[in-house]
Amino acid sequence: MAKSPVVDQELSAVLNELWKLDVNRLKPGKDYKINLQGKADFVSQGTNSARDKASAPLFSYVNEDKLKSIASYACFIKLLDNYEMSTGVAEKVTSEELQENHLFLDAILKTEVMKHTHKYLVSKGQASSDIATFKKQLYDIWFKLYNRDRRGGADSCGFEHVFVGETKYGKEIMGLHNWVQFYLQENLNVVDYKGYKARNKDTPDEDDHVLNLQFSWKGLVKPLGSSFIGVSPEFEVALFTIIFLKSNEHMTKTVVKVDEYLLEIVVCRHGHSIGTSYPKMLSSSNRDM
């Protein structure tokens, strides 16, 4: 028998509080519908062909009007086209894009999810109680450009990697762990969902808010990706920020129980910024019945 992972209870309690406060989380079957289809095959990293076990897109419906009517999503969507896809190509940030970064942070800081996160981080001595200082801290964690590829200028940041996705030398997909970006890229016909990834007993269902999956993006295959589905941008920023600030290790892996999901959350740092962060679904209690 494999040892069951040790769950971080304190962190789980905080994240469940945030889960309850996430009023902007979309409702599966109502605000959006996913179509899981087949289970994807094993594909080794760097292979750019995968058998397609899903002939239709992952998202069969998303209420875009609802997305655009919620400030944090509307500001988030504006950010998605601000980045150069390939590492090694320096990012040119316009003043308008800088403004969009700030508007996004302003929008999420107004949500109960981020207010609670701020209070929690202050109580742990990991953030200043001054809101402007906290916003600058978030900016540096998520938007400060750094050099991921030694050949070029500052070509990446945490937000781009996690939420937008980028490619390494144009040969391998990195990041792209966000469901809104996935849906929008499917609509543009540049993302092709290949099927879900799961252990035998743990087949996902259409109501799951976390999914392990395989897909291709602009012709490159991601053998195993993972993403929250339907959750708000502020929930993801909150969760990954809390785990990022929890430790100075290069890589932090934490097991938490959020709602019905047993998750491993992985956060890697790049100096004082996020290098990558993503959830990995371990199991869901509604299937252990």
| 10-residue averages of pLDDT along the chain (289 residues) | 79 97 97 94 78 91 95 92 55 76 95 98 97 96 76 69 74 78 90 87 86 86 88 97 93 94 91 88 69
Token pair, residue 159, equals: 């937000």
Contact 36, 204 (CB under 8 A): yes
| Catalytic residue status for 246 | no
What pLDDT, on a 0 to 100 scale, did the predictor assign at position 199? 78
- The letter for the amino acid at 22 is D
Q: Return the CA Rg of the chain.
A: 18
C-alpha to C-alpha distance for 96 and 265, rounded to whole angstroms: 33
Of the listed 118, 135, 194, 222, which one is catalytic? 222
Q: How many residues can be counted in the chain?
A: 289
Token pair, residue 103, equals: 């508007």
C-alpha to C-alpha distance for 208 and 118, rounded to whole angstroms: 27
Residues 6+ apart with CB under 8 A from 257: 7, 12, 16, 263
Contact 158, 277 (CB under 8 A): yes
| Catalytic residue status for 222 | yes
C-alpha to C-alpha distance for 157 and 136, rounded to whole angstroms: 15
Of the listed 118, 177, 209, 257, which one is catalytic? 177
What pLDDT, on a 0 to 100 scale, did the predictor assign at position 82? 60
What pLDDT, on a 0 to 100 scale, did the predictor assign at position 288? 47
| SS (HEC) of the chain | CCCCCCCCHHHHHHHHHHHHHCCCCCCECCCEEECCCCECCCCCCCCCCCCCCCCCCCEEEECHHHHHHCHHHHHHHHHCCCCCCECCCCCCCCHHHHHHHHHHHHHHHCCHHHHHHHHHHHHCCCCCCCHHHHHHHHHHHHCCCECCCCCCCCCECHHHHHHHCEEECCCEEECCCEHHHHHHHHHCCCEEEEEECCCCCCCCCCCCCEEEEEEEECCEEEEEEEEECCCCHHHHHHHHHHHHHHCCCCEEEEEEEECCEEEEEEEEEECCEEEEEEEEEEEEHHHCC
Of 148, 172, 171, 170, the closest CA to residue 159 belongs to 148
| Catalytic residue status for 161 | yes
What pLDDT, on a 0 to 100 scale, did the predictor assign at position 152? 58
What pLDDT, on a 0 to 100 scale, did the predictor assign at position 270? 85
Residues 6+ apart with CB under 8 A from 4: none
C-alpha to C-alpha distance for 144 and 8, rounded to whole angstroms: 29
Of the listed 135, 161, 194, 209, which one is catalytic? 161
C-alpha to C-alpha distance for 213 and 50, rounded to whole angstroms: 12
